[in-house]
Amino acid sequence: MNSDLPKVLHKVAAAPLLHHAMTAGRSLDPALTVVVTGHGAELVEKSARAFDPDVATVRQSEQKGTAHAVLQAAPPLEGFVGDALVLYGDTPFIQSETLEKMLAARRRHAVVVLGFHAADPGRYGRLVAEGEALHRIVEFKDALPEERAITLCNSGVVCADAATLMRLCAAVGNANASGEYYLTDIVELARSEGLSAGLVLCDESETLGVNTRTELARAEALFQARARAEALENGTTLTAPETVFFALDTHIGRDAIIGPAVIFGPGVTIESGAEVKGFCHLEGCHISRGADVGPFARLRPGAELAEDVHVGNFVEIKNSILGEGVKVGHLTYLGDADVGEGTNIGAGTVTCNYDGVMKHRTTIGKRVFIGSDTMLVAPVTVGDDALTGSGSVITENVPAEAVALGRARQVNKAGLAIKLFERLKAIKAAKNKG
């Protein structure tokens, strides 16, 4: 990857590759998830815990191969009774349905391997199989010419009883071209014990591994194509599908409308019937039924829009709750605010929420009219049915039903404009002459 960042922390769909693999595993509702880390262990462990606080992490201090990596999970799995699945942090697209098939095949076989037919087998390990029965896996470096001609390839994903998996991995040797302990060797070891090994097939696209920036870009394109197709199939309108970019955890209800060039960051939920117009950026927010957003709006983490809220162009909302029917038409920043139902926020309004050290909250009641260009200096409260005059700087609480004016008195100087412009023009001419 030519990067200081561990490979599995590079992102596809606004989420680390690692989280994609953990999402696939989570779909099975596992009793335990173990993440084996190596390069950049501390960063990878932090990311894994951010996804699942209950995850167990172990380190492979020396990279001696895949069987050796799996063996590092033995301590947290000690005494565990049940099946174990081995997934890979740089292989983001294994589907939950595929993993379910592997678990079903485990009822027939001691070891189950996920394979695929490759259009270009390249340097993949080859699967020597007869029907569902898997005889052995041959790494490309160790394969004979006739074995390299096989197009049935190994994904690396394995399922077995946890105790059996650890026992077989412990028996793996490293007498091969790389001097590594291959997880693939457990197939022949199992068969030598009279245990059966089985094969489950998936589409080649599920097994896409990411090892380069080019493959990362290809993975992003593949994810987005799938996400767009799924959104359309589920009843979401995408007016320009190829320009919309989803995150791994984006949730959109039926009959929602998404305009062109909308970007989804993590943690976005849009309810049925809502609309997001073009060129919006959304992250960590919730948009309720009947609300409309944009164009050119930004919703940041903690933005909660109730039903029938209107957020217009060049509006930014952060860590704020907007009640039912609130209207924020344009050119406004609402941060750390609570806004009551039916309130109208005029153009150019800003909640001044940060004092340079701490954030403070603004509370605006129901049916309030905030005049254009109002600065609300938090912490401050505006009561129900109140009004602020345009251009006001509000530094004190406004009682319910009151009108608040917080601006300097206007003074008109007769004839001064002409004199001032003449003076400024003279100054400019003198500078140009010099």
Say if CB 137 and CB 112 are below 8 A apart.
no
Tell me whether residue 122 is in a domain: yes
Does residue 185 sit in the same domain as residue 220?
no
Tell me whether residue 411 is in a domain: no
Helix and strand tally (H, E) in the chain?
Answer: 10, 34
Does residue 105 sit in the same domain as residue 171?
yes
Q: Extract the tokens encoding 201.
A: 């097939």
Say if CB 27 and CB 1 are below 8 A apart.
no
Residues assigned a catalytic role = 330
Structure confidence at residue 340 (pLDDT): 98
CATH of the domain at 99: 3.90.550.10
Say if CB 287 and CB 304 are below 8 A apart.
no
Does residue 257 sit in the same domain as residue 200?
no
Q: Identify each DSSP E strand in 139-283 by its residue range.
A: 152-161, 197-201, 237-238, 251-252, 257-258, 263-264, 269-270, 275-276, 281-282
**Cis bond upstream, residue 16 (ω within 30):** no
Low-confidence ranges of the chain (pLDDT < 70): none
pLDDT tens per residue across span 19-29? 999 999 999 99
Does residue 359 sit in the same domain as residue 375?
yes
pLDDT tens per residue across span 54-82? 999 999 999 899 999 999 999 999 999 99
Tell me whether residue 377 is in a domain: yes
Of 143, 173, 207, the residue that ends a domain is 207
Does residue 100 sit in the same domain as residue 127?
yes
For 82, other C-beta atoms within 10 Å of its C-beta total: 11
Burial of 417 (0-12, 13-18, 19+ CB in 10 A): exposed
Tell me whether residue 45 is in a domain: yes
CATH of the domain at 387: 2.160.10.10
Q: Nearest 5°: CA angle at 215, between 214 and 217?
A: 65
Does residue 180 sit in the same domain as residue 229?
no
Tell me whether residue 428 is in a domain: no
Structure confidence at residue 351 (pLDDT): 98
Q: Extract the tokens encoding 94.
A: 């294994």
Beta bridge partner(s), residue 245: 263
Tell me whether residue 346 is in a domain: yes
Tell me whether residue 218 is in a domain: yes
Tell me whether residue 397 is in a domain: yes
For 6, other C-beta atoms within 10 Å of its C-beta total: 22
- Count of structural domains, the chain: 2
Of 150, 178, 207, the residue that ends a domain is 207
Does residue 254 sit in the same domain as residue 363?
yes
Does residue 360 sit in the same domain as residue 385?
yes
Does residue 239 sit in the same domain as residue 326?
yes
Owning domain of residue 49 = 7-207
**Cis bond upstream, residue 260 (ω within 30):** no
Of 172, 207, 242, the residue that ends a domain is 207
For 20, other C-beta atoms within 10 Å of its C-beta total: 24
pLDDT tens per residue across span 73-126? 999 999 999 999 999 999 999 999 999 999 999 999 999 999 999 999 998 999
Does residue 327 sit in the same domain as residue 251?
yes
Does residue 162 sit in the same domain as residue 237?
no
Does residue 102 sit in the same domain as residue 234?
no
Beta bridge partner(s), residue 145: none
Amino acid at 235: G
Amino acid at 34: V
Structure confidence at residue 19 (pLDDT): 98
What span, in angstroms and rounded, lies between the C-alpha atoms of 422 and 62?
79
Q: Helix or strand or coil: residue 184?
A: helix
